[in-house]
């Protein structure tokens, strides 16, 4: 399934970015917002961007958005690391 987001022309023209950067910037802003609200996981939000895991994590940090990492996530990671 693919989702098409329509932005009215008058709004698109008001975006203060070069046309070549608009799509990627909008996808990044959407990814950050959805992750910040807990709507998307880190991995799925990152997929909306052109950023790797480290870059996306740094972006969240710069924006003051905490990582959603629970004690259960930590336990799972430790168990995985132990094999």
Give domain status of residue 28, yes or no.
yes
Per-residue confidence (pLDDT) for residue 72, from 0 to 100: 84
User: Residue 35 CB: number of other CB atoms within 10 A?
Assistant: 24
Evaluate whether residue 73 is within a structural domain: yes
Residue 8 lies in a domain: no
By residue range, what is the domain housing residue 27?
A: 18-82
Per the structure, the count of domains in the chain is 1
In a domain, 65, yes or no: yes
Below-50 pLDDT ranges, the chain: none
Is 13 part of a structural domain of the chain? no
The reply to whether 5 falls in a domain is no
pLDDT at 49: 95
pLDDT score recorded for residue 68? 86
Examine residue 2 and state whether it is found in any structural domain, yes or no: no
**Contacts of the segment 65-71: beta carbons below 8 A, 24+ positions apart:** 65/32, 65/35, 65/36, 67/42, 68/35, 68/38, 68/41, 68/42
Tell me the backbone φ, ψ of residue 27, rounded to 5 degrees: -65, -40
* Residue that the structure tokens 């989702």 belong to: 3
Q: Is residue 11 part of a domain?
A: no
- At residue 4, the pLDDT reads 92
Q: The tokens 């959805």 sit on which residue?
A: 34
């Amino acid at each position: 399934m693919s989702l098409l987001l329509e932005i009215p022309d008058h709004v698109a023209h008001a975006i203060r970015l070069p046309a070549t950067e608009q799509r990627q910037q909008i996808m990044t802003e959407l990814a950050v917002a959805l992750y910040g609200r807990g709507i998307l996981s880190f991995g799925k939000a990152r997929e909306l961007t052109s950023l790797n895991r480290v870059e996306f994590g740094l972006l969240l940090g710069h924006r003051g958005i905490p990582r959603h990492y629970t004690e259960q996530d930590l336990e799972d990671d430790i168990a995985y690391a132990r094999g």
